[in-house]
Amino acid sequence: MRFEYPALPQGVPLSEVEQQALCQEILAEIEGGQFKAVGTASAENHSHWEEFWQFNLDLTRVPAYLRKAKLLRINKRFHRMERSTDEMYWYMCIRHSVLSTYFKNIQIIYEFGCGNGWNLRAAHQLYPFKQMVGLDWANSAIKELNRLGRLKTGGWIRGRQFDFFDPDYDLKLEPGSAVWTVGALEQTGQHWGPFLEYLLANKPAICVHVEPIVEWYDPKNPVDATAIAYHLARNYWQGFPSRMEDLARQGKVEILQKQRSYVGSKYLEGYSLFVWRPL
């Protein structure tokens, strides 16, 4: 099983002067405290996501976090794009490749941190007879999923509340199922341990994470250095790859794929891939 990323988007690289100025601009924004830290189970963070998904519930709508922009980071350089939607369409190609590669023989897909269910709708279009379960911290998100219920094709999508920081062990994952996260575990900071233990206990057939992974940047590269600074300022998840390597050496998991995307937004690469399964 080998996943291939779509071809890199085509853009015009910024000049060295422009790139240096942009790096300085990003670092100044970070040092100025413009970005809020996440990674905790605080009432404030919970309230933020409840409110966010109340205004992003349309399942046909691209979530607000996937913003239009004509500036992307590609292969450790900044590029100016022709269209502001290039990142969105490239992500949609990644998503299709992930679904086609890893979920073909899976009957139940659990997306943790599913938000408005945009990814699950894409999965349903590709696999109309499969069962989809969307799990999210915010009740406002899962209520919308539960309005769909059973679909005309015989498959179904349903929603359920789930807390990464305090997993509900009453939710038993079906044998042979798949776990999927997209830009969700980033929100757990250094507190992803309870969710990992939950997955190890439930033993899904495969776990696929499309997330920003700070350990895979090159700190000597000035563009990557801005992503590292931003990632740390936001308190996005850290330490997962090394923990999984430890578990692999202990024979508790098998790592199936580790791959950096080399594509991202102004601030970070959000599409790196980590695929594994419990043993």
Q: Tell me what the pLDDT averaged over the chain comes to.
A: 88
Q: How far apart are CA 8 and CA 261, in angstroms?
A: 9
Q: Would you give the DSSP letter of residue 176?
A: T
pLDDT at 154 over 50: no
If you average pLDDT over each of 60-69, 113-122, 183-192, 211-220, which comes out highest?
Answer: 211-220
Task: Give the model confidence (pLDDT) of 231-247 as tens digits.
Answer: 999 999 999 999 999 99
pLDDT at 18 over 70: yes
Say what percent of the chain tops pLDDT 90.
68
What is the H or E stretch that residue 5 is in?
A: none
- Return the bridge partners of 275, or none: 208, 257
Q: How far apart are CA 252 and CA 263, in angstroms?
A: 31
pLDDT at 54 over 70: no
From the list 229, 214, 220, the residue with the least C-alpha distance to 270 is 214
Q: Would you give the DSSP letter of residue 9?
A: P
Q: What pLDDT was estimated at residue 69?
A: 87
The residue type found at 170 is D
pTM comes to 0.90
Q: What pLDDT was estimated at residue 59?
A: 47
Q: How far apart are CA 198 and CA 279, in angstroms?
A: 14
Q: How far apart are CA 71 and CA 164, in angstroms?
A: 32
Q: Which of 32-36, 64-68, 174-178 bottoms out in mean pLDDT, i.e. has the lowest?
A: 64-68
Q: What pLDDT was estimated at residue 155?
A: 53
